[in-house]
Amino acid sequence: MTTKVQTAIFPVAGLGTRFLPATKATPKELLPVLDTPLIQYAIDEARAAGIKRMVFVSHTSKPAIERHVMDDIRLRRELEARGKPRLAEELKEAAFCPKSDDVVFTMQDEPRGLGHAVLCARDHVLDGPVAVILPDDLILGAPCIGEMVEAYDRGHMVATMTVAPEDVSKYGVLAVTGHDGRITHAHGMVEKPAASEAPSRKAVIGRYVLDADIFDALETQAPGAGGEIQLTDAIAKRAQERPISGFSFSGTRFDCGSKSGMLEATLHLAEQDPELADVLYAYAGAHTRTQSAA
């Protein structure tokens, strides 16, 4: 059995209720930060990590995800005909080609939780540990899943960061036993604990490298928080045999499942683009003036 991470699973079946009405017809994974949809950042991260097979766990109501992810030859030809070969080339590079790339779309029919979504990918993964990437956790600046694949040894690894006490209830939280450089050792994990019951402030962020036996654990996992089959519970279940490590990644994470996170990510990227930075600072300057004049 190989220890190489060959598969990335993207759970993208969710309804995206937090972004309604934007997500009524547009999947939340296609909401853009500047001009790039969230799913594209996730794909680019997995590709940079050298992952071979990409498994999208989607829903039949979200065919637009597949349209975005796969190459669209007709659109490219049209762009070329209109004298836009560079744009056509950029689209080609970002997309998967059915002939040369290893991509699977599978459907999660019912919203039964993240653990269930990962289980839906079971029959489509390659040998060895699997990566799980949640596209609404956008991590910029350094490729998180690449760092994790590099650091992965055995057991289950989750990306982690320290959050404010009032925020622990939004996350899976590690029951910490010790630290070793960027690794936090844990003997358990709790999904969305009340602040008073959280075992630590080390929150799980949406990047995982999981031993393949996670699928056996998920198979028998009873519903947990919110009545859903939680990935957190399945990871925690075998903590005795399968060590859990939290990985402190070096990039900056934006919670793009929330409006404030989307805005922060947009401002962060705008600030790095000379043209958009001018717009940003001009707006901020004008806004400050308006406020002080008021």
Binding site for ligand G1P (CB under 6 A): 114, 134, 137, 171-172, 191, 203-206, 230-232, 257
How far, rounded to the nearest angstrom, does the alpha carbon of residue 31 sit from its chain's CA centroid? Answer: 14
Q: How far apart are CA 19 and CA 37, in angstroms?
A: 14
> Closest separation between CB of residue 173 and ligand G1P, Å?
8
Which tokens is 236 given?
Answer: 């925690």
Q: Cβ distance 55 to 8 under 8 Å?
A: yes
> Closest separation between CB of residue 222 and ligand G1P, Å?
15
Q: Of the two residues 79 and 265, which places its CB atom closer to ligand G1P in the complex?
A: 265
> Closest separation between CB of residue 164 and ligand G1P, Å?
14
Q: Of the two residues 92 and 185, which places its CB atom closer to ligand G1P in the complex?
A: 185
Q: Cβ distance 145 to 200 under 8 Å?
A: no
Other CB atoms within 10 Å distance of the CB of residue 151: 16
Q: Of the two residues 91 and 183, which places its CB atom closer to ligand G1P in the complex?
A: 183
Q: Of the two residues 88 and 121, which places its CB atom closer to ligand G1P in the complex?
A: 121
Q: Of the two residues 40 and 232, which places its CB atom closer to ligand G1P in the complex?
A: 232
Q: How far apart are CA 122 and CA 126, in angstroms?
A: 9
Which among 22, 244, 54 has a CA at the least distance from the CA of 155? 244
Which tokens is 20 given?
Answer: 């309604």
Q: How far apart are CA 232 and CA 218, in angstroms?
A: 10
> Closest separation between CB of residue 115 and ligand G1P, Å?
8
Give φ, ψ of 235 to 5 degrees.
-70, -45
Instruction: Give the CA-trace dihedral at 28, 34, 38, 42, to 10 degrees.
Output: 180
> Closest separation between CB of residue 163 and ligand G1P, Å?
9
Q: Of the two residues 114 and 149, which places its CB atom closer to ligand G1P in the complex?
A: 114
> Closest separation between CB of residue 83 and ligand G1P, Å?
42
**C-alpha gyration radius of the chain:** 20
> Closest separation between CB of residue 185 and ligand G1P, Å?
18
Q: Cβ distance 140 to 265 under 8 Å?
A: yes
Q: How far apart are CA 171 and CA 193, in angstroms?
A: 8
Q: Of the two residues 8 and 95, which places its CB atom closer to ligand G1P in the complex?
A: 8
